[in-house]
Structure 1
Amino acid sequence: MPRFKLIFLLAILCLRTALPQGFAAEGYCKDPSHFRSLGEAHTAASDDSIDLKFYSLNLNISAAPVYLNGYTGITFTSKVNGLTRAIIDLSNSMTVDSVTEGNSPAVFTHTNGQIRISLANPAALNESRTIKVYYRGLPTPTGFGSFGYSSGSTPFIWTLSQPFGAKDWWACKNSPDDKADSAEINITVFPGLKAVSNGTLLGIDINGDGTETHRWKTRYPISSYLIAVTISDFTLYTQYFKHSPADSMRVDHYLPLSVLNANKINIDKTTEMLSMFSRLFGEYPFINEKYGHVLFGRGGGMEHQTISSMGGFDEYLIAHELAHQWFGDKITCRDWSNIWLNEGFATYSEALYFEQTGGKGSYRYVMDRFIDIAKTAIGPVYVQSNLSDPFYIFNYARTYAKAAVVLHMLRGIMGDILFFKCVRNYAVDPVYAYSTVTTDEFRAVMERESGLELGYFFDQWIYGEGYPSFKVDWAKEKTDGGRWRVSLMVMQAPGKIFKMPVKVKITTETGDTTFTVTSDSQTQMFVFIINGEPLDYSFDPDNLVMKEIESETKPGSETETKPFILRQNYPNPFTESTTLRLVVNSGGNFEINIYNSLGEECGSLYSGYLPAGIYPFTFTGERFNLSAGVYFIRAESGRGSEWVKVVWVK
């Protein structure tokens, strides 16, 4: 997969430039500073006193010059008794001409990106109201380019609202946590253009002035950032996804003919991916409407509900955006702190797609690359700071790669059958399907479905930072009964200790035996009794744990060819205590003593017989009434001696 390698290198170069969507898309290294200075900062919170029910978005968009005017009809219910005002989000770069409630004008103010609307009379709890906001202007893009257009000979207008950009171009409640139950999007354009949006195309009306109104409607719940409009003279290419013996769903691709011809091989794989993900995650969430792609004016992609906006057509990106229809669109993160629940699943689904098409080797190849990138992540996967900065929220190493690795590790803990059962049941959970979710709620579903306690896992990998670093030693000895004893010493780096089940594979002349151990302290000894002489071992053979192995004793190394070896203490230098490992390949009597820099003996760590195995010894200077400084520890038997230098600092 040479192209993957190239894309991987590009992703490495872009790790500090957080960009939306898809590991494999072109354009990830585009300079985001173009958008940083544009538009207002996201500061004001959306109105939590209203519950959205319906959007009617009606826009007249001209291409020469680019200009937008229209209105949004918004139906909501009051979440409080006696509601006197409603707040709707719209950028100050847009001009609000009027607001109505019912058929009457409403009093409003428009400041700081919010329209504060006085209701004609107080609304009771759960009472429904409908308002219309009329506005016009040329939207000023923010974030990743919320409203974009090309001024070339062919009109090209597109939107990308995630995370805060919906209010740049239409009046809405600009928050992912409140989904409208349904929405209609009516877009008026000049003839010859196609206006593409969410849901089903109900029809195209020919207006008296020669313009055309493309009428779209989605009957599924939808967050404001997932509503999109794209306009150009696209060619429509349609596939059909046969999801049952009697039913098919349209898969519509709106692309320039040249783009379609250049990418048709990959585009045609969309229906295959729909079948794969439906088997893994359950029925495609918007089966009564459509799925498809539309070209937009930037690299990467965006999972607009039922119609992903695409800047490229790599298999990785197609799989990523399609998986978002389940994880991101059907089940949406309740706020941007929980964005990993969207992006982690979509990124992990890239690996799942290649596992389905290329087997475990392809899956391992993709996941190994994600792990390499994830190791560069800074901060917890759960975003706790800089929540007004899209480029921080969507940091690739943390929000995409590490989040995908978290799911990979969770699968490793559960096993394939249980993991996919849990994921499928999560995707259809009636509480969260077509609604929103938090990390703690996702964890609760996975615990309920698996019967496992996963608090430690989420605390380490979602709310915590970093990853474990190991040193591993082994020794083997034939027992009196003719079987073999394998001793494995596992040490984690000082500091944060991770608790993780880890597989250990031991290879013998007769085959492989795999054990699972739980690493949960700084120094641990694991002993295995097996049939047949052990020839090799592998610690985490399938790379199911994100980790670093600082050192590892392997067969044929110095440890096996000498009667014994005293391993360097760890950590070194140390402030409180340090651990040494004595690897004994054949039993004998040992003296392990401490000496100062003058060669004077200061104490004894051990004296006596040791059979073959690995033995940890902890050294604390205070135990021997010593002062901080340099010391030497000597292990001696009748077959030689070993020295290590230790440094105690305070």
Structure 2
Amino acid sequence: MARWLGEQPEGDADLGGAPREAFEATDALHYNLEIEINPSAGTLSGTNTMTIRSLVDGLTEFTFRLRTQYTITSALINGSTPVSVTTLGTTTRRATLDRAYNAGEEFTLTIAYNGTPVSVGFGSIEFDTQNGQPLVSTLSQPYYSYSWWPCKDGDFAQPGDNSDKATLELALIAPSTMRSVSNGLLLGVDNLSGNRRRYRWASNYPTSTYLVFFSSTNYTTWTQTYDYGAGTMPVEFSIYPADDNPTNRAAWEQVLVMLETYRPIFGLYPFINEKYGIYQFNFGGGMEHQTYTGQGGFWEWVTAHELAHQWWGDSVTCRTWHDIWLNEGFATYSEALWEERRPGSSGLPALFAAMSDRRPAFVGDSVYVYDTSNINRIFDYDLTYLKAGWVLHQLRHVVGDAPFFDLLAGYRAAYEGSAPTTDDFAAVCSSVHGQDLSWFFDEWVYGIGAPAYQYGWQTAQINGQHYLRLYINQVQDPSYGMYIMPIDVRVNRSSGNETHTVWNDADPEHFVIPISSAATGVVLDEFDWILTTSKTQVSYVNGPPKIVQA
């Protein structure tokens, strides 16, 4: 999700907190969902057949999410056996199964329901208009799928678990003047009685529930082709007719260049056998629905951000909402990577400029989200997006340029189609790097704040060898703790500059660095690889020296 530009979200106070079977007791394999919307009445009806595998012996109940304003008119096991459904709270229902299912056994549960949707969160389902035309769109992130369709999902305001992904069929019935878009590929369009039309979409790529969506209005749609050498993939665009002009088309079609720009550093687009697309919606920013991103405008940075989510957020999805930075930090840093690597870019200067533009205004909390009950904290722009993007920028400098992209490749290989935690990502980084990087994640992801440096220097000559004496002191808020980091030191000399790297792991710390000739000036962290709140040059302070090898 690109930075939210709309109103503050709303939620449901009821946690549906009655005891339930363990989330890990079942595996959702497939959803076959058909929905009919009535835009003029603001109502919705539908059926969802959930294919579920038991992962334990003796499973006798199955908990799913569906808000209580919906009336369940039918609940069938395996297509024919009626079962009872109990309402546990505002957001949660429980079906009593027809018998006990043992580990490895599968069953289907078909829920038929209808009602008037209530939009929660960022606008989980909105009956709206655009340019006088009806528009119905969904946006379920983080845990609001229950507001429009029954599914297995984590509880409201809880950390959740996005690892149970399922394949999907979604059919959307709407007035025939409306075109309906969703995940995956369009299998067919059926003209129905009463001037209605059904669009049938399906995806064979397992999808987390919050990434399932539909949107329906009088879209104008066009398609371009992404040629990746070994084949081609459709890239589909759906736009409001009033906004369909060459400028807006060109803005969105930049995504074709982005697909090829991201490929060398992220690998081939993860849903290459289906599609990528951008459709217009009335929400602010953008939302990375799997294979088809919703965008509220034509901003280049949003297009780059949302496309990157297809790798980092959709294919590899944060396991819990504690770990949302694994989605948003990656997509934010990808905006800067696009600036660095786009055709005609200046390269690293463009990267540094992009990261300078993405400095958080507030650093005094953790990137890791400890409180998942507060949706505004989950999606805090300074922390979950900007500071998290800086985590990756700094990690790149800590491990080195080529090794950083090796880390990304190893991370994708380990968790493609799944959902890792922060600890999982840290473990991959340490394994690929060949050194324990837990110190880095402890201070930059789990910890709070950012460093503020004071530094002073002297030039010296001993037995004909020139040295730089360097003093570094961290002066940030004491509650932040100390930051262990490698720091680049540019030494200015009359005959030219040279750069050394010191390992700053004490506070204060004094370094003695052999240099080629007398120093005339010093710049600490010249290219701002470290997220700092300040860097201030002060008078040199004597102390016990640490000798840096030449």
TM-score normalised by L of structure 1:
0.78
> C-alpha separation between the residues in 1 aligned to 2:64 and 2:360?
43
**Which residue is 2:72 aligned to?**
96
For each residue in 1:150-195, what CA deviation from the matched residue of structure 2 results, as whole angstroms up to 9, or x when unmatched? Answer: 1563110100000011000000112342434311001111112111
1:46 Cα deviation after fit: 7.4
1:378 Cα deviation after fit: 3.8
1:42 Cα deviation after fit: 4.6
User: Where do 1:433-452 residues align within 5 Å?
Assistant: 433-452=416-435
For each residue in 1:54-84, what CA deviation from the matched residue of structure 2 results, as whole angstroms up to 9, or x when unmatched? Answer: 0011101122122110111100111211111
Aligned to 1:189, what secondary structure does the other structure show? strand
Letter in 2 for 1:94: Y
**Which residue is 2:190 aligned to?**
205
> C-alpha separation between the residues in 2 aligned to 1:302 and 1:115?
27
User: Where do 1:49-64 residues align within 5 Å?
Assistant: 49-64=25-40
Aligned to 1:437, what secondary structure does the other structure show? coil
User: Where do 1:493-508 residues align within 5 Å?
Assistant: 493=475, 495=478, 496-508=481-493
1:105 and 2:82 correspond: yes
Query: In 2, are the aligned partners of 1:46 and 1:174 still within 8 Å (CA)?
Result: no
> C-alpha separation between the residues in 1 aligned to 2:360 and 2:366?
17
> C-alpha separation between the residues in 2 aligned to 1:313 and 1:437?
31
**Which residue is 1:128 aligned to?**
106
Letter in 2 for 1:475: Q
1:117 and 2:95 correspond: yes
1:479 and 2:455 correspond: no
1:149 and 2:127 correspond: yes
1:166 and 2:145 correspond: yes
Aligned to 2:359, what secondary structure does the other structure show? helix
Letter in 2 for 1:136: N
Name which of 360, 365, 383 aligns with 2:369.
383
Aligned to 1:275, what secondary structure does the other structure show? helix
Query: In 1, are the aligned partners of 2:360 and 2:382 still within 8 Å (CA)?
Result: no
Name which of 364, 373, 377 aligns with 1:392.
377
**Which residue is 1:294 aligned to?**
279
Name which of 435, 442, 448 aligns with 1:459.
442
1:532 Cα deviation after fit: 2.6
Runs of 5+ consecutive residues of structure 2 not aligned to the other structure: 155-160, 546-550
Shift of the 217–156 alpha-carbon distance from structure 1 to 2, 3 Å rule, reads same
1:40 Cα deviation after fit: 4.9
Letter in 2 for 1:433: E
Alignment root-mean-square deviation, CA: 1.8
Aligned to 2:529, what secondary structure does the other structure show? coil
Letter in 2 for 1:172: C
Please identify the structure whose Cα radius of gyration is greater: 1
Name which of 335, 346, 350 aligns with 1:362.
350
> C-alpha separation between the residues in 2 aligned to 1:289 and 1:242?
13
For each residue in 1:286-311, what CA deviation from the matched residue of structure 2 results, as whole angstroms up to 9, or x when unmatched? Answer: 00000011111111111000001111
User: Where do 1:241-640 residues align within 5 Å?
Assistant: 241-244=226-229, 246-261=230-245, 262-357=247-342, 358=345, 359-373=347-361, 376-385=362-371, 387-429=372-414, 432-481=415-464, 483-493=465-475, 495=478, 496-549=481-534, 551-553=536-538, 581=541, 614-615=542-543
Query: In 1, are the aligned partners of 2:166 and 2:208 still within 8 Å (CA)?
Result: no
For each residue in 1:465-504, what CA deviation from the matched residue of structure 2 results, as whole angstroms up to 9, or x when unmatched? Answer: 11122110001123332x4221111112273111111111
Shift of the 279–378 alpha-carbon distance from structure 1 to 2, 3 Å rule, reads same
> C-alpha separation between the residues in 2 aligned to 1:486 and 1:180?
56
Shift of the 484–53 alpha-carbon distance from structure 1 to 2, 3 Å rule, reads same
Letter in 2 for 1:419: F
Letter in 1 for 2:239: L
1:536 Cα deviation after fit: 1.9
Shift of the 109–406 alpha-carbon distance from structure 1 to 2, 3 Å rule, reads same
> C-alpha separation between the residues in 2 aligned to 1:154 and 1:46?
43
Aligned to 2:69, what secondary structure does the other structure show? coil
**Which residue is 1:11 aligned to?**
none
> C-alpha separation between the residues in 1 aligned to 2:368 and 2:262?
26
For each residue in 1:360-381, what CA deviation from the matched residue of structure 2 results, as whole angstroms up to 9, or x when unmatched? Answer: 22211121232343xx034211
> C-alpha separation between the residues in 2 aligned to 1:67 and 1:178?
31
1:22 and 2:2 correspond: yes
Shift of the 408–178 alpha-carbon distance from structure 1 to 2, 3 Å rule, reads closer
1:104 Cα deviation after fit: 1.7
**Which residue is 2:202 aligned to?**
217
> C-alpha separation between the residues in 2 aligned to 1:450 and 1:220?
30
Aligned to 2:402, what secondary structure does the other structure show? helix
Letter in 2 for 1:161: S
1:194 and 2:174 correspond: no
More displaced stretch, 356-365 vs 63-72: 356-365
Query: In 1, are the aligned partners of 2:33 and 2:48 still within 8 Å (CA)?
Result: yes
For each residue in 1:183-239, what CA deviation from the matched residue of structure 2 results, as whole angstroms up to 9, or x when unmatched? Answer: 100111111211100000001012244321111000001011000000001011211
Query: In 2, are the aligned partners of 1:42 and 1:388 still within 8 Å (CA)?
Result: no
Shift of the 309–121 alpha-carbon distance from structure 1 to 2, 3 Å rule, reads same
1:41 Cα deviation after fit: 4.5
Query: In 1, are the aligned partners of 2:467 and 2:518 still within 8 Å (CA)?
Result: no
Letter in 1 for 2:151: C
Runs of 5+ consecutive residues of structure 1 not aligned to the other structure: 1-20, 554-558, 560-566, 568-580, 582-613, 618-650
1:315 Cα deviation after fit: 1.1
For each residue in 1:85-106, what CA deviation from the matched residue of structure 2 results, as whole angstroms up to 9, or x when unmatched? Answer: 1111001122211211121211
> C-alpha separation between the residues in 2 aligned to 1:312 and 1:507?
47
> C-alpha separation between the residues in 2 aligned to 1:229 and 1:143?
16
Letter in 1 for 2:95: I
Name which of 115, 139, 143 aligns with 1:137.
115
TM-score normalised by L of structure 2:
0.92
Task: Give the total of aligned pairs.
Answer: 526
> C-alpha separation between the residues in 2 aligned to 1:469 and 1:293?
41
Shift of the 163–444 alpha-carbon distance from structure 1 to 2, 3 Å rule, reads same
> C-alpha separation between the residues in 2 aligned to 1:151 and 1:363?
39
Shift of the 462–278 alpha-carbon distance from structure 1 to 2, 3 Å rule, reads same
> C-alpha separation between the residues in 1 aligned to 2:535 and 2:271?
48
Aligned to 2:311, what secondary structure does the other structure show? coil
Query: In 2, are the aligned partners of 1:43 and 1:388 still within 8 Å (CA)?
Result: no
Aligned to 1:344, what secondary structure does the other structure show? helix
Query: In 1, are the aligned partners of 2:509 and 2:543 still within 8 Å (CA)?
Result: no
